[in-house]
Amino acid sequence: EGDKEKRQWSLQDFEIGKPLGKGKFGRVYLAREVKSKYIVALKVIFKEQIEKYRIHHQLKREMEIQTSLRHPNILRLYGWFHDDERIFLILEYAFGGELYRELKKKGYLSEKQAATYIASLTNALAYCHEKDVIHRDIKPENLLLDHEGRLKIADFGWSVQSRSKRRTMCGTLDYLAPEMVENKAHDYAVDNWTLGILCYEFLYGAPPFEAESQKDTFRRIMKVDLTFPSDPPVSAEAKNLISRLLVKDSSKRLSLQKIMEHPWIIKNADPMG
């Protein structure tokens, strides 16, 4: 395992399999390292894309961050290599695929499953924050499952080292905290807000501030217009946790430590993640 990251890799070392999906800036393929028959996910990023968006330094920084992250709920980046026009990321392959599909298939998750995912995410985020990394893009499509159904945070397309003032508005607003929607300086507490969004979505099958238009979603986020449908029935403890994360004042959101000690998590989360 150790030497695996150090050696120089090239495309010849891999047999390329089926496409796994389109991530940011590139496609991802199932691949097998020829000698060891080790299965990985190979992400192909086109250099002209990196140059065009001038995020060469960001990708470099990102790769340094990534290779230093070691946590059971964070997808591994084993290494990378490049040829003239492409950069290849050698990623851990999550055999369970995207958590999003499981959520869509089931509609919504049991309180035990939801609490287990939230506990895994909280653990992974506490680890990232220790390393001064804010993920900032935790949404269901960036969450993968391993062969045992364990959660893996994947796409770190926009993780940054410590604070950052700017974020490019891409994709849905549903997961953005008020301070991000207002494009204010923000800090780690954005992840706590996102945990509240995800907990709600795991239990009800849709994010809490969903609306017809982005403008209405924006308004609902800024108002923290949080309502709990009567169906599916959800425990008072779960609603309590969500209500203590979806708080506009980021300094008043439940800390990661307090989430781990919350009665709903203690009662429902599977300690084996």
The residue ranges that bind ligand AK5 (CB under 6 A) are 20-21, 23-25, 28, 41, 43, 45, 55, 58-59, 62, 66, 75, 77, 89, 91, 93-94, 97-98, 144, 154-157
**Which residue, 29 or 204, has its beta carbon nearer to ligand AK5?**
29
Question: Alpha-carbon dihedral of residues 21, 23, 26, 31, nearest 10 degrees?
Answer: -50
| Contact criterion met (CB below 8 Å) for 262 and 237 | yes
**Which residue, 20 or 238, has its beta carbon nearer to ligand AK5?**
20
Question: Alpha-carbon dihedral of residues 91, 97, 103, 109, nearest 10 degrees?
Answer: -90
Q: How many other C-beta atoms lie within 10 A of the C-beta of residue 95? A: 12
Catalytic residue among 84, 137, 146, 249: 137
Q: How far is the CB of 27 from ligand AK5 (least distance, A)?
A: 9
DSSP 71-93: -TTB--EEEEEE-SSEEEEEEE-
**Which residue, 94 or 254, has its beta carbon nearer to ligand AK5?**
94
Q: How far is the CB of 188 from ligand AK5 (least distance, A)?
A: 19
Q: How far is the CB of 144 from ligand AK5 (least distance, A)?
A: 5
Q: Is 84 a catalytic residue?
A: no
Residue 204, CB-side half-sphere exposure with 13 Å CA sphere: 22
**Which residue, 38 or 228, has its beta carbon nearer to ligand AK5?**
38
Q: How far is the CB of 68 from ligand AK5 (least distance, A)?
A: 12
| Contact criterion met (CB below 8 Å) for 221 and 173 | yes
| Contact criterion met (CB below 8 Å) for 207 and 197 | yes
Our CA angle for 195, 164, 57, nearest 5°, is 115
**Which residue, 35 or 57, has its beta carbon nearer to ligand AK5?**
57
Q: How far is the CB of 69 from ligand AK5 (least distance, A)?
A: 8
What residue type is 1 in one-letter code?
A: E
- Residues annotated as catalytic (active site), given as ranges: 137
